[in-house]
């Protein structure tokens, strides 16, 4: 008997593993496994989402003009060269779908975001993993892996789950070293956590094959709304809009994101609290021998003696109602990724890991 057969590569896609949010038998948990904003969205975004409820019978805008204008004012970018997606994931998917297919290669780095191989295979392309150096993206390794089949290089900066960052100079060297028919996608999901960093917008203006992606899911606390955006040369945006569904963003999502991006005061509060608590968290853990690289994000990558210790600590944290993220799947088996929570959450993480390590809780 014949049966429907999926396209080649589809069954090679490993299903995305989201951050856990429940622990069996533990009623009250603190979720520190998905790099969400512990303070939630701006009250203005909540209000805008609420107000949108009265017009839910209307289709949303197809061109996202109002949200793009707000993003453009906030970042000083040309609104015509911005595209919005259902999370930055969707923008990344547009890029792979529009520019790659069977036989093409997509490069990403050893500890790169786990959606990249999924997105590559969704387009029928082949994901190619390149080593990092001491948990940092390495430009020479990437350039050495480029072949005449390479069409996209995905770079997360700052990185997830590494939390490290490479300099503008290194990124410029990478962009300059890639062939003109190869896109460089700068995934800036965590760009807002770095004071003064433009996420790569300057490089987009300098190189016609560079794309920057950003999200409302992290510092803006709108992961549940699913809004992201990309910025690139006009020619690229015109291509990406052809594979975008006309009503990809709901009117509630559009309203919430537009209000969020305009609330600069709340943004600054989230940014400064993140820095304050991240510094404290990493310093306290370092005192008990749990080291992490200086973080440029809203999480730290805590390193343990070996995989067994990391997993035992994760198990212990769960018994304490604290859910963090194992990152063995990112080739970091001896580490745990811990989102910087609010003050209470950070205090509980330090107390629990101290107890686990055998010190005074
Ligand atoms: C590096 C990186 N890129 C992209 C995303 C996707 O974010 P979004 O919620 O905008 O789809 C994430 C989310 O965790 C991420 O960590």
Q: 33 or 21, which is more confident?
A: 33
Where exactly are the structural domains of the chain? 10-40+265-360, 43-263
Q: What is the per-residue pLDDT across 13-30, written as a single tens digit (0 to 9) for each?
A: 888 877 777 777 777 899
**Six-digit token string for 328:** 């063995």
Q: Where do runs of H (alpha helix) occur along 123-165?
A: 139-145
Q: Does domain 43-263 bear CATH number 3.40.640.10?
A: yes
CA-to-CA dists, residue 23 to 5, 125, 150, 266, 322, angstroms = 37, 37, 42, 31, 9
The mean pLDDT of 132-139, rounded to a whole number, is 97
pLDDT value at residue 28: 82
Ligand 1 nearest-atom number relative to CA 227: 10
Nearest Cα residue to 352 out of 274, 281, 275, 294: 281
Q: Are 218 and 189 in contact (CB under 8 A)?
A: yes
How many angstroms does the Cα of residue 317 sit away from the middle of ligand 1?
25
pLDDT value at residue 359: 59
Ligand 1 nearest-atom number relative to CA 159: 1
Distance CA 36, CA 21 (A): 12
Ligand 1 nearest-atom number relative to CA 112: 1
Q: 266 or 21, which is more confident?
A: 266
pLDDT value at residue 360: 45
pLDDT value at residue 104: 98
Q: What is the per-residue pLDDT across 247-257, written as a single tens digit (0 to 9) for each?
A: 999 999 999 99
Q: Are 259 and 42 in contact (CB under 8 A)?
A: yes
3-class SS of residue 44: helix
3-class SS of residue 30: strand
Distance CA 326, CA 1 (A): 43
pTM: 0.95
Give the residue whose CA is nearest to atom 8 of ligand 1: 87
Q: What is the per-residue pLDDT across 147-206, written as a single tens digit (0 to 9) for each?
A: 999 999 999 999 999 999 999 999 999 999 999 999 999 999 999 999 999 999 999 999
Give the residue whose CA is nearest to atom 3 of ligand 1: 189
The mean pLDDT of 91-106, rounded to a whole number, is 98
Q: Which CATH architecture has domain 10-40+265-360?
A: Alpha-Beta Complex (3.90)
Ligand 1, CB cutoff 6 Å, lining residues:
35, 87-89, 113, 156, 160, 187, 189, 215, 217, 223, 228
């Amino acid at each position: 008997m014949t049966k429907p057969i999926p396209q080649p590569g589809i069954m090679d896609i490993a299903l995305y593993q989201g951050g856990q949010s429940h622990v069996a038998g533990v009623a009250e948990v603190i979720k520190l496994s998905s790099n969400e904003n512990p303070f939630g969205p701006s009250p203005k975004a909540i209000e805008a989402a609420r107000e949108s409820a009265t017009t839910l019978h209307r289709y949303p805008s197809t061109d996202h003009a109002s949200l793009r204008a707000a993003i453009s004012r906030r970042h000083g970018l040309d609104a015509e060269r911005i595209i919005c997606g259902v999370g930055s994931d969707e923008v990344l998917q547009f890029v792979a779908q529009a520019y790659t297919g069977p036989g093409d290669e997509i490069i990403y780095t050893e500890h790169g975001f786990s959606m990249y191989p999924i997105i590559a295979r969704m387009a029928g392309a082949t994901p190619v993993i390149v080593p990092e150096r001491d948990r940092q993206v390495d430009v020479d390794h990437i350039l050495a892996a480029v072949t005449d089949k390479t069409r996209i290089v995905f770079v997360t900066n700052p990185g997830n789950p590494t939390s490290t960052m490479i300099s503008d100079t290194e990124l410029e060297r990478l962009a300059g070293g890639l062939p003109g028919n190869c896109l460089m996608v700068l995934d800036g999901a965590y760009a807002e956590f770095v004071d003064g960093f433009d996420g790569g917008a300057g490089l987009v203006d300098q190189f016609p094959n560079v794309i920057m992606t950003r999200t409302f899911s992290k510092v803006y606390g709108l992961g549940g709304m699913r809004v992201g955006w990309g910025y690139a040369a006009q020619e690229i945006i015109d291509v990406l809009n052809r594979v975008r569904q006309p009503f990809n963003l709901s009117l509630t999502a559009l309203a919430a994101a537009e209000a969020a991006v305009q609330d600069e005061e709340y943004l600054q509060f989230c940014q400064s609290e993140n820095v304050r608590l991240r510094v404290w968290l990493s310093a306290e853990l370092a005192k008990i021998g749990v080291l992490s690289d200086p973080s440029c994000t809203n999480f730290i990558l805590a390193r343990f003696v070996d995989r067994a210790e990391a997993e035992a600590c994760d198990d212990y944290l769960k018994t304490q109602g604290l859910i963090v993220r194992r990152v063995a799947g990112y080739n970091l088996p001896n580490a745990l990724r811990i989102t910087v929570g609010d003050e209470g959450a950070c205090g509980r993480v330090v107390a629990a890991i101290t107890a686990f390590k055998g010190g005074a809780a």
